[in-house]
Amino acid sequence: MIGFNKPSYTGNEKKYILEAIKSNHISGNGKFTKKCELWFEQNLPCKKTLLTPSGTHALEMAAILLDIKENDEVIIPSYTFVSTANAFALRGAKIIFVDIRPDTMNIDETKIEAAITNKTKAIIPVHYAGVACEMDTIMKIASKYNLFVVEDAAQAIMSSYKGNPLGTIGHLGAFSFHETKNITSAGEGGLLLINDERFAERAEITREKGTNRSLFFRGMVDKYSWVDIGSSYLMNDVSAAYLWGQLEKIDEIQNNRLNSWNLYYEGLKNLEKHRYIELPTIPKECTNNAHMFYIKVKDLETRTKLLNYLKDHGINAVFHYVPLHSSVAGRKFGMFKKYDIYTTTESERIIRLPMYYKISKNEVLKVINYVYESIYESNK
């Protein structure tokens, strides 16, 4: 059986977890939390980073920092994970869905301006498959209308747009370290990037249950107390220790994934040449972090047949998001602006093939072989 995903494991994680346990500090803001946050601040770079229990929590913190409230509107693509919408719906915002580009599956930047009203507070671009949205255009629109931009970079670690690391371009950015991502903090985890200095101090307070505890421990206040709303948005140090083991070998992880991604791409090009499938598009100003490898088939019926064929041959490939605007909560908490030209039809064509650190060359070639078999059998 070739599984869809295996969490990254380099071998260093175990020793750092034991080190964290023996330090007698396994709650948040410990040694490994600080090491990871410093690594991100130096390598991305940004004003400040804060590890969180999940990417969802990072987005929730962003919504608090932007003072999102009832009757505010935020603009997002409908083709995204539920957390992108939930974080802002929790604060009372109305979610305004816009269509996607069929080439990258990212938000269509040309549709954003028409969705802006006097209630719009923020734009949330989602970098699907680790490939950047058209950020120059999005930032210009945000500047024109005095809006905030929060990058949902959950899938985009170590990817960039015109040389700028994703997550560092908007006012705030959010990463995920879920076990399906390129690097993980023992299954769950996230990171909030602060790119606008005005949010830095309040972000610490928000993460510490609304208290100024971090300021107190740095000697910046003589006592700490409850000063704002917040919650427990701290990653525990055992999870941070696991993440540190991954960060030490992040180049090795990325190179391995890129080799597998390129093997898929080269192996399936002939099917694209004969128009049986479409392969991922990487615009010239963007990089590819090999977060996922997907193909697009003709339609939903073709996708169902191919998924079943792969399953019958021991390969766990999957489809991806069901557009949020078509869901019960999507209709309750949001609305689709203008026309759904590509969101639904393109989402029904996608198949995600197995992709993870240390998937073997033979496993990738086996997947490729069965994709060919299924496609050719269906087109006899």
Q: Decide if pLDDT at 214 tops 90.
A: no
Rounded CA-CA distance 132/306 in Å is: 28
Rounded CA-CA distance 108/185 in Å is: 32
As a whole number, mean pLDDT of residues 50-71 equals 98
As a whole number, mean pLDDT of residues 106-133 equals 98
Count CB atoms within 10 A of the CB of residue 197. 9
Per-residue pLDDT reduced to its tens digit, 298-349: 999 999 999 999 999 999 999 999 999 999 999 999 999 999 999 999 999 9
Rounded CA-CA distance 120/292 in Å is: 32
Rounded CA-CA distance 122/128 in Å is: 19
Q: Decide if pLDDT at 203 tops 90.
A: yes
Q: Decide if pLDDT at 217 tops 90.
A: no
Give the model's pLDDT for residue 24.
93
Question: By CB neighbour count within 10 A (0-12 exposed, 13-18 middle, 19+ buried), where does 361 fall?
Answer: exposed
Residue 176: pLDDT band (50, 70, 90) is very high
Options 3.40.50.620, 3.40.640.10, 3.40.190.10, 3.10.20.30; CATH for 13-247 is: 3.40.640.10
Q: Could you tell me which residues come within 8 angstroms of residue 170 by beta carbon, excluding any fewer than 6 positions away?
A: 125, 135, 139, 142, 148, 149, 150, 151, 195
Structure tokens at 190: 């996230």
Give the model's pLDDT for residue 215.
74
Give the model's pLDDT for residue 219.
72
Give the model's pLDDT for residue 92.
98
Q: Do domains 13-247 and 250-378 have the same CATH topology?
A: no
Percentage of residues in the chain with pLDDT exceeding 70? 99
As a whole number, mean pLDDT of residues 4-31 equals 96
User: Average pLDDT of the chain?
Assistant: 96
As a whole number, mean pLDDT of residues 20-42 equals 96
Give the model's pLDDT for residue 213.
81
**What does the DSSP assignment read for 70-104?**
TT-EEEEESSS-HHHHHHHHTTTPEEEEE-B-TTT
Give the model's pLDDT for residue 224.
84
Residue 377: pLDDT band (50, 70, 90) is confident
Q: Decide if pLDDT at 223 tops 80.
A: no
92, 69 Cβ separation under 8 angstroms: yes
Rounded CA-CA distance 215/223 in Å is: 9
Q: Decide if pLDDT at 221 tops 80.
A: no
Question: By CB neighbour count within 10 A (0-12 exposed, 13-18 middle, 19+ buried), where does 234 fall?
Answer: buried
Give the model's pLDDT for residue 70.
97
Percentage of residues in the chain with pLDDT exceeding 90? 95
Task: For residue 46, give Cα distances in angstroms to 13, 62, 312.
Answer: 26, 15, 47
Give the model's pLDDT for residue 260.
98
Per-residue pLDDT reduced to its tens digit, 120-175: 999 999 999 999 999 999 999 999 999 999 999 999 999 999 999 999 999 999 99
Residue 63: pLDDT band (50, 70, 90) is very high
The dihedral built from the CA positions of residue 102, 107, 109 and 112, taken in this order, carries a sign that is positive
Options 3.40.190.10, 1.10.10.60, 3.10.105.10, 3.90.1150.10; CATH for 250-378 is: 3.90.1150.10
Query: What does the domain layout of the chain look like in residue ranges?
Result: 13-247, 250-378
Q: Decide if pLDDT at 220 tops 90.
A: no
Q: Decide if pLDDT at 264 tops 90.
A: yes
Residue 235: pLDDT band (50, 70, 90) is very high
